[in-house]
Structure 1
C-alpha cells in the first residue's frame, strides 16, 4: 500500500537572505489596521503590495526569464510563500496567477497568450481566476455544461461558472469547458484563456455571511475567442486541470490560514501560560511543523519533476482539518470576553466564521477522501 513518504528537504543556501528580503518588504508596507485581515491572508487582495513583490522579483520566481520570470528554484519560492503567509501579508491579488495560471500557460499556452499575460503577472500587475465549479453541480467538477463551439477560426463560449474566487479583480480566467458536444463527465473537456473584459463576460458578486466578497458568478454569453485561447490539446482539459490541482492543494496556504490566530494566542498568554494553554500551544506547534515538512516534501517532489498528486491531496486534507480546528480549540481553552476588541478576539471571531469554508476550496473533504482512497488502492 502506498503511503506518504517525507524526504529530507534541501533548503536553498540563500534561504536566510530571502527571508530577510521578504520581512523587509512586509515591514515597509502599511499594515491593515484590522488584525482579522492578517488571517487567511491569501484571500486578502492588495494590488499595491502585489506590485511591490513583483518589482522585487518575488512573483513568477520559477518562470523563465524570457516571460518575465526569474528562473529560481521551487524551494526558494516556497520560502517566500511561507514568510508572506506567516506574516499575514495581503497576497490575494496575484496568488492564483503565481500559483497556477502562470505555470499552466507555460506548459500548455499558445506563445501569443504567454507573451500577452506572463510578463504582467510577474510584475504583479495582471491577476487571474480559475473557472471550474458550475451551478447545480456541487463538488462534481466533471459536471461541466459550459460549452465552446468552433465557428470558423473562432471559439464561442456560452455558460456559467460559480464560486470563482477573485473574478471581480482578475484580468483573465482559465476555464474548463466542454468542446465535444454530447460528451459526458470528464471526456470532451478543454481549457481556455478568457480575458475578463471580453464582450459577453459578466460578473455577479457572491457576498458571504461575513459580508466578504471573495466569490463570484461569471456568465459567458457568446464570448468570442481566437484559436490561440485554447490551452493545450482539445479534449485534454480534464487531465490538465486535475494535474494543476496538485499545485493548489499542497502549498503552505493549506495549513497557514489560521497562523495569525496562533501568533495572537502567544502574545495574549505571555511567557507563563497555564498548563492547558501550554498543552494547546505545544499541540498546535507540533502539528504545524509536521504539516510544513509534508508540504515542503511535495514542493521538493514537484521540483524534481514528480507528480505527487496523492501526497498533495493528503496535505490539503490534513492541513484544512488543522486550520479549521484551531479556532474552536482556542475558544475552548482561553477565557475571552466576547465583548472585548483585542487582536486575539478579532482574529478568533473572524476565523470562527470563515474557517468552515477552508475545506471547500480546492476540493471538498469528501472528494479528497475518495482521491486518497483510490491512491491507496482502497477503492
Structure 2
C-alpha cells in the first residue's frame, strides 16, 4: 500500500516561543550552577537522576500525557521545543528521555490501568528510567526476526534470550521488550511478537557492557535466563506487537535528537573560524545551517502530525535517515572547514577536543534507532516501490 507522503509547513505558535525562553533560562541556571557543561558529554547516572528531578519540577516530563496520570495534556509542539533546547545545550537527559519520548506513550496506549497508575506518575516525577529491548544479535534492526522467547508459565511468562545494543540498560529501571510468544507464519512473518513491561531488577536478567570508542558506557547486551514477567505486564495484544512497534518507532525516529547529537561541533566550528571567515568556510557553514534548518522543518512537521493523532511512520523514517546521515557527516565536514582557521586567533583547542569526541560517536548514529538500510526499506514500502 502506498502512503500519502507529506510534510506540512508547520510553524511553532507564540506560546511555544515563550516556553523556549523559559527552557533556555532554566538551562542557563543549570550551567551556571555547574550541574553540567555543554561542551562535555556524559556525566554520572546520579547527575542525570538529579537533573531529571529538576526538569520534572518544571513540568517538562510527560507534558503531553493525560492529566489523570500527572501529565498536562500539552501539545507535541511544546514538547518538541523542550527537547530541542535540551539537545542543543547537551543537557544530561538520559534518565528520563526514553520514558518521556516513547515508553510512556506506549504504556498509555497499551498498558493496563494498574500499570498506568503505577508507572506514569513516577516517570513524570523523574523517578524511573526506561530502555528499549528490540535489537538482537542475529537480527539487528530486523525486529520481526527476533528470537528471544517468552513462554507461558504459572501467572506469567518466562523469558530466555538476548537483546543487544540496548542503550542505558545498565542504569534503567524498566525495559519495554519485544519478545517472541509464537512462531511467525509463512503468510505473516511479523506474527508472534508481544510487547512486555520488564522490571530490570528481575532475577535472571544480566547487563553486559559493550565497549565504545568514545569510552562511554551506553550500549549493553541484555541476557534473559528464565526471567519471570507477570501477566499484567503484557502491553497490548499477544502475538500482535508488530502493530504497536511501528507506531512506537514514529516517536523514536522523528525528533530533533536525530540530527542534533553532534551539533556541538557546528557551534565550535563557528567559534573556531571567527567573525571573519574566509569564503570557503563561510559558504560551507552556510550550507550546513541550511541543511539543518530543512531537517528541523521536517521534524517539526512530524511533531505536528503526532499532535493531530496521525502515525507518520514513513515521514519519521525519512527524518531519521536524513538526520542521522547529516549528523554523522558533520564532524568530518567541520574538520575540513576548520583546516585553514588560524589556531592562534581562535578556540581551535576547544574545537579539536569536541571534534575528537564526536568523530568517535559518529559511526553509531546510523545504527541506533534503526539502521539506514532498514529505514530505506520502510520508506520504499511506503512509497509503493516494494
How many residue pairs are counted as aligned between the two chains?
Answer: 374
Matched, 1:155 2:157: yes
Contact 1:147 1:157 in 2 (8 A): yes
> 1:32-73, CA deviations, whole angstroms, 9 ceiling, x for partnerless residues?
4582418xx9x9972211111111100101001221211111
- 1:44 and 1:365 map into 2 onto residues whose CA distance is 33
Kindly tell me: are residues 341 and 13 of structure 1, through their superposed partners in 2, closer, same or farther at Cα, counting changes over 3 Å? closer
Q: Which residue of 2 aligns with 1:12?
A: 13
Find the partner of 2:329 among 300, 325, 344. 325
**What are the residue-to-residue correspondences of 1:178-257 with 2, within 5 Å?**
178-181=180-183, 185-257=189-261
Q: Which piece of structure 1 moves more, 235-244 or 288-297?
A: 235-244
Contact 1:44 1:92 in 2 (8 A): no
Contact 2:38 2:91 in 1 (8 A): no
TM-score, normalized by length of structure 1?
Answer: 0.93
> 1:323-359, CA deviations, whole angstroms, 9 ceiling, x for partnerless residues?
111111111121277xx97221111111111111100
Matched, 1:271 2:275: yes
Find the partner of 2:351 among 344, 352, 365. 344
Q: Which residue of 1 aligns with 2:26?
A: 25
> 1:207-266, CA deviations, whole angstroms, 9 ceiling, x for partnerless residues?
212221111111112122221100001111111112211111110111111211111111
Contact 2:183 2:191 in 1 (8 A): no
Q: Which residue of 1 aligns with 2:127?
A: 125
Once the 2 structures are TM-superposed, how far is the Cα of residue 5 of structure 1 from its aligned partner?
A: 2.4
TM-score, normalized by length of structure 2?
Answer: 0.92
- 1:327 and 1:3 map into 2 onto residues whose CA distance is 34
SS in 2 for 1:66: helix
Q: Which residue of 1 aligns with 2:313?
A: 309
Unmatched tracts of structure 1, length 5 or more: none
- 1:224 and 1:3 map into 2 onto residues whose CA distance is 42
Find the partner of 1:354 among 350, 361, 372. 361
Contact 2:165 2:219 in 1 (8 A): yes
- 1:9 and 1:87 map into 2 onto residues whose CA distance is 24
Q: Which 4+ stretches in 1 moved above 6 angstroms? A: none
Find the partner of 2:171 among 160, 169, 172. 169
- 1:81 and 1:223 map into 2 onto residues whose CA distance is 34
**What are the residue-to-residue correspondences of 1:1-150 with 2, within 5 Å?**
4-29=5-30, 30-33=34-37, 35-37=39-41, 46-150=48-152
Contact 2:272 2:338 in 1 (8 A): no
Contact 1:246 1:313 in 2 (8 A): yes
- 2:47 and 2:377 map into 1 onto residues whose CA distance is 32
- 1:234 and 1:78 map into 2 onto residues whose CA distance is 32
- 1:45 and 1:374 map into 2 onto residues whose CA distance is 43
- 2:108 and 2:93 map into 1 onto residues whose CA distance is 22
Kindly tell me: are residues 11 and 270 of structure 1, through their superposed partners in 2, closer, same or farther at Cα, counting changes over 3 Å? same
CA RMSD of aligned residues (A): 2.1
Once the 2 structures are TM-superposed, how far is the Cα of residue 140 of structure 1 from its aligned partner?
A: 2.0
Kindly tell me: are residues 87 and 44 of structure 1, through their superposed partners in 2, closer, same or farther at Cα, counting changes over 3 Å? farther
- 2:89 and 2:191 map into 1 onto residues whose CA distance is 42
Find the partner of 1:377 among 356, 359, 384. 384
Once the 2 structures are TM-superposed, how far is the Cα of residue 123 of structure 1 from its aligned partner?
A: 1.2
- 1:308 and 1:255 map into 2 onto residues whose CA distance is 18
> 1:288-337, CA deviations, whole angstroms, 9 ceiling, x for partnerless residues?
11111000111101111111111111111111111111111111121277
Contact 2:250 2:312 in 1 (8 A): yes
Once the 2 structures are TM-superposed, how far is the Cα of residue 17 of structure 1 from its aligned partner?
A: 2.1
- 1:332 and 1:267 map into 2 onto residues whose CA distance is 15
Unmatched tracts of structure 2, length 5 or more: none
